[in-house]
Amino acid sequence: MADQIRAVAYARVSTREQAENATSIPAQLEAIRHYCKQKGWILVNEFIDAGRSAKTDERPEFQHMIALAKKNNRGFDVIVVHKFDRFSRSRDDHVIYKSLLRKIGVNVYSATEQTDPDTPHGFLIEGILEVISEFYNLNLRKEVFKGMKENTKMGYRNGGVAPYGYRLSKVSNVDGGIKTILVLGPDEEVNVVKRIFHMYVYEGCGAKKIASTLNEEGIPSAKGGKWAYTSIHSILHNEAYKGDMIWNKYDYNLGKKMKPKSEWIVNKDAHPAIIGRETFELVEVKSRERSPRSNPFVPGKSPFILRGLLKCPKCNFNMVSSQSGGKTKAGISRKYYVCGTYLRKGKQACEYISFNKEKIESIVKEVILKEFTMMCLPNSLLHEIQNYNNEKNRELRYKHDALERDIELSNDRVQMLQQDLKITPDNETIKKYIEDLKSQIEEYKNQLSDINSILSTKINYDNDVEIIVGDLKNIVTTFSSKLPTEQNIILHKYVDKITVNNFNNIVSIYLKIVSPVTKSTDETILLEKVLYGEYLR
Ligand SMILES: [Zn+2]
């Protein structure tokens, strides 16, 4: 009796594919088992990579299988996959692994695609399948985009959590696929949303006032904790509440940035509205009236210049002013910044944490004015901004290099095939393969030029820098002579927050410099940077 062929199965599904209802691992294995049975092969082992990305190196079971295959006593003769794209999505990996396996006498079979790798014809078919699988991979982004656009138009969600006041609900579409839609949440939440809009539009309350009112009443936020004014803000500007579904609003390539409205995919009345369109429009009007974009913070009369900036090290909420008046024997003021949560809600909410006003303010002033002075030196700020933005481009540069390498490899392959064609000039399959490769190279080149154009767009920061440096020079020379409220406004313009580590007394000042010349509705961050000082108790 001839030796029976021993097969191993390899199955793979990535996290993304799982989400997209691709052929599941059990279904892949089922097809492989059936195929082996038909062929009269004995299935001796199964290697499974689940929930991983398609990059070869991240597939431990695949690596394990290849390592075994290299051994003399590997215990199997062939590898069977459901489809060749399970074996590898990248043509380079595919070629490398398959030629390696072929050299040591292991052939790879697909349970659902007809090919015989032993014949030259089969070899070419495989090559074409590889190209197709690669092509599919390259087009995945486009396909996913198309699918998501379609989803939006049909009123289906493209992932993400439901906005406060709504819940997600599963439905099946005409093709029997499972889709997600938005439905109204519990009445309590719906009423809170209505109230937020009402307070803002008709009662003249700002986001901060609304947040503190809800917190005082003990109404939990979407995440179950306290309301932040920023979450009130995002509710007020979320089109979902007027029943509209909007997708493709933000560009996440280089940080979260709003795309031009022309690129938004909008589906009006996609789900039940909580707020009337008129009220929603009024929010936009009110918000323009309320806050000049550059400084949404409304200053008070407090002489505490770190108001709204200094955060409690324990609960992360604002530290607020507390004064017992007078001075200590050493002549130090008894004015303090104290945790606002503690003052409002008592010691069960947060500890009594305090910083002496004079001490903390003087260290912050010292560190910031020193930094601002440095930034006024020629080219200093410009360099920092460029470095900060270069860092953001690093990932793109990595993609760029990978594409260049892919083009080179594909060109080599075309040359090899053209040599083959000299021997058999009428071979249509080789011709077709060369054509496929060439169009693939074109696709690579298109992508490369897209990336190049982003990378080579030298954003000119000269205008920004000129305005900012002018402002900083002014601040450095006049800050001390300004009123505390003015100092507070200046700090809010450049500082995001200030924290003090309660154990080592290190003060962290989070600088955030926003473009003064940007024309989009969203702020453009030019530079983020943390400055350090020490709080001397
Ligand atoms: Zn606190």
Is residue 298 pLDDT above 60, yes or no? no
**499 CA to centre of ligand 1 in angstroms:** 12
Maximum mean pLDDT: which of 76-90, 92-106, 248-262, 440-454 = 440-454
Q: Residue 58: which pLDDT band, with cuts at 50, 70 and 90?
A: low
> Of all residues in the chain, what percent carry a pLDDT higher than 70?
80
Residue with the bigger pLDDT between 115 and 191: it is 191
- Residue 187: is its pLDDT beyond 50? yes
Higher pLDDT, 237 or 136: 237
| Alpha helices (H) in 457-518, listed in sequence order | 462-478, 484-494
The mean pLDDT of 24-32, rounded to a whole number, is 89
- Give 308 Cα–ligand 1 centroid separation in angstroms: 14
Question: Among 33-47, 246-260, 312-326, which range has the highest average pLDDT?
Answer: 33-47
Return d(Cα 197, Cα 234) in angstroms, integer. 11
* pLDDT score recorded for residue 256: 59
Report d(CA 392, CA 459) in Å as an integer: 13
Residue 85: its pLDDT value, please?
75
The average pLDDT across 378-401 equals 83
* Of 115-124, 187-196, 501-510, highest mean pLDDT: 187-196
Distance 520 CA to ligand 1 centre (A): 36
- Grade residue 56 by pLDDT with cuts at 50, 70 and 90: very low
Q: How much is the pLDDT for 243?
A: 94
Residue whose C-alpha is closest to residue 497's, from 319, 304, 255: 319
Compute the distance from residue 342 Cα to the ligand 1 centre, in Å. 6
pLDDT, position 518: 60
Spacing, Cα 65 to ligand 1 middle (Å): 55
Q: Is 294 helix (H, G, I), strand (E, B) or coil?
A: coil
> Strand runs (DSSP E) across 389-505, as ranges?
495-500
Non-local (6+) Cβ contacts of 466 within 8 A are: none
Question: What's the pLDDT band for 31 if we cut at 50, 70, 90?
Answer: very high
CA dist., res. 161 & res. 461, Å (int): 37
Q: What is the reported pLDDT for 425?
A: 85
pLDDT tens track for 403-421: 998 899 889 889 988 988 8
Residue 313 CA, ligand 1 centroid: distance in Å: 7
CA of 50 to the centre of ligand 1 (A): 44
Higher pLDDT, 48 or 250: 48
Average pLDDT of the chain?
81
CA–centroid distance, 318 to ligand 1, in Å, is 8
Distance 423 CA to ligand 1 centre (A): 80
Asked if the model's pLDDT at residue 294 lies above 50, the reply is no
Q: Is the pLDDT of residue 381 over 80?
A: yes
Domain borders along the chain are: 6-137, 166-290, 310-386+462-534, 393-456
Is there a contact between 331 and 320 (Cβ–Cβ < 8 Å)?
A: no
Query: Mean pLDDT, to the nearest integer, of 110-116?
Result: 74
Which of 24-28, 85-89, 286-290, 325-329 holds the top average pLDDT?
A: 24-28
Packing angle between helix 187-202 and helix 207-216, nearest 10 degrees? 140
- 451-489 pLDDT, tens per residue? 888 777 667 888 889 889 888 888 888 888 888 888 998
What is the predicted pLDDT for the residue at 142?
62
Gap from CA of 210 to ligand 1 centroid (Å): 20
**Any residues with CB less than 8 A from the CB of 285 and at least 6 apart, and which?**
none
Distance 338 CA to ligand 1 centre (A): 8
DSSP 18-87: HHTTPPPHHHHHHHHHHHHHHHT-EEEEEEEEES--S-GGG-HHHHHHHHHHHSTT---SEEEESSHHHH
Q: What is the pLDDT of residues 127-173, one digit of tens each?
A: 665 555 555 555 555 666 777 788 888 888 877 778 999 998 888 87
What is the pLDDT, as a whole number, of residue 254? 46
CA of 368 to the centre of ligand 1 (A): 24
Condensed to tens digits (0 to 9), the pLDDT of residues 251-279 reads 655 445 677 787 788 899 999 999 998 88
Please tell me the distance between residue 350's alpha carbon and the centre of ligand 1 in angstroms.
5
- Give pTM, 2 decimals: 0.39
Q: What is the mean pLDDT of residues 431-456?
A: 88
The answer to whether domain 6-137 and domain 166-290 are alike in fold is no
Of residues 285 and 199, which shows the higher confidence score? 199
Domain at 166-290: CATH code: 3.90.1750.20
Superfamily name and number for 6-137 = Resolvase, N-terminal catalytic domain (3.40.50.1390)
Q: How many residues does the chain have?
A: 537
Question: How many angstroms is it from 487 CA to the middle of ligand 1?
Answer: 24
**pLDDT at residue 481 in the model:** 83
For 67-71, 191-195, 290-294, 420-424, which range has the lowest pLDDT when averaged over its residues? 290-294
Compute, in angstroms, the gap from residue 215 CA to the centroid of ligand 1.
15
Q: How confident is the model at residue 121 (pLDDT cuts 50, 70, 90)?
A: low
CA of 244 to the centre of ligand 1 (A): 38
Among the residue ranges 231-245, 381-395, 484-498, 515-529, the one predicted with the least confidence is: 515-529
Between the CA of 189 and the centroid of ligand 1 the distance, in Å, is 27
Q: Which of 127-136, 205-214, 378-387, 465-474 has the lowest mean pLDDT?
A: 127-136
pLDDT(304) > 90: no
C-alpha of residue 480 to centroid of ligand 1, in Å: 29
pLDDT at 116: 54
Task: Report the pLDDT value the prediction gives residue 93, as an integer from 0 to 100.
Answer: 61
Q: Can you tell me the mean pLDDT for 308-314?
A: 93
What is the distance between the alpha carbons of residues 88 and 106, in angstroms, rounded to a whole number?
Answer: 16
Task: Indicate the pLDDT class of residue 124, thresholds 50, 70 and 90.
Answer: low
pLDDT band at 69 (very low <50, low <70, confident <90, very high): confident
Amino acid 495: pLDDT: 95
* Tokens describing residue 455: 């990378």
The tens digit of pLDDT for each residue in 504-535 reads 888 999 999 988 876 555 677 899 999 998 89
Average pLDDT over residues 181-189: 93
